[in-house]
Chain A
Amino acid sequence: GAVVSQHPSWVICKSGTSVKIECRSLDFQATTMFWYRQFPKQSLMLMATSNEGSKATYEQGVEKDKFLINHASLTLSTLTVTSAHPEDSSFYICSAPGGNTDTQYFGPGTRLTVL
């Protein structure tokens, strides 16, 4: 089956630094990828839609200048959390649609802790 990977699986950083998270589709191409954020014991909240070759589409309330998304190729999307603060600490998960547009494949997630 289709596999989506994320790197790193966890990261700890100091407040004010920037952190980059990678999302890769390993055995299929994805012109679209989705980024979600999940706080402890809560559900997934869609942050943005990453589009290969064009700008990302952000959900209401998500700061595009803080969460930079770059869809560099058909297999890679990156999310950069700029000037991270403790309130940005969360579990970030990406997904990509499979060949059947109803199917989504999720990455294993990246746990970000900002000190």
Chain B
Amino acid sequence: SQQGEEDPQALSIQEGENATMNCSYKTSINNLQWYRQNSGRGLVHLILIRSNEREKHSGRLRVTLDTSKKSSSLLITASRAADTASYFCATSKGGAQKLVFGQGTRLTINP
């Protein structure tokens, strides 16, 4: 079963604005990852944050992790039309490599 929940389920903003997506999970984790999926395509890995990290940056992406609240956020700054996609958080636990995905946020960037 999916343990992650993301909000909002859908987000529509203007190009150039920042987009923030949140993810919550229920059990302890090793790490949390964010993926992007363009419509009808496979997943692209964006960023991984470990359970002992609080914040991580990669280009226009900023991820935070609050293990006390079991939540994470993904911030995309200066959004572009090409950022239009679905974004999923995924967690792994213990030594397992398998991922449990959140429900995803469908992001639309309007030109």
Residues of A within 8 A of B (CB): 4, 6, 32, 34, 36, 41-46, 49, 60, 91, 93, 95, 97, 101-109, 111
Contacts and interface: CB of A to CB of B under 8 A. Distances in A.
B102 A104 contact: no
26 contacts: A4-B42, A41-B106, A42-B103, A42-B104, A43-B4, A43-B88, A43-B102, A43-B104, A44-B43, A44-B101, A45-B2, A46-B100, A49-B98, A97-B97, A101-B97, A102-B48, A103-B48, A104-B97, A104-B99, A106-B35, A106-B42, A107-B42, A108-B42, A109-B41, A109-B42, A111-B40
Nearest to A57: B98
Contacts of B31: 102
Interface string B67-111: 000000000000000000000100010000111111110100000
Contact of A93 (B30, B43, B48): B43
B45 interface: yes
Nearest to A34: B98
Contacts, number: 58
A61 to B, nearest CB: 9
Contact of A43 (B40, B44, B48, B101): B101
Interface residues of B, number: 25
B88 A102 contact: no
Contact of A102 (B43, B92, B103): B92
Contacts of A97: 97
A105 B33 CA distance: 12
A92 B33 CA distance: 20
A91 B40 contact: yes
A109 B36 CA distance: 14
B66 to A, nearest CB: 20
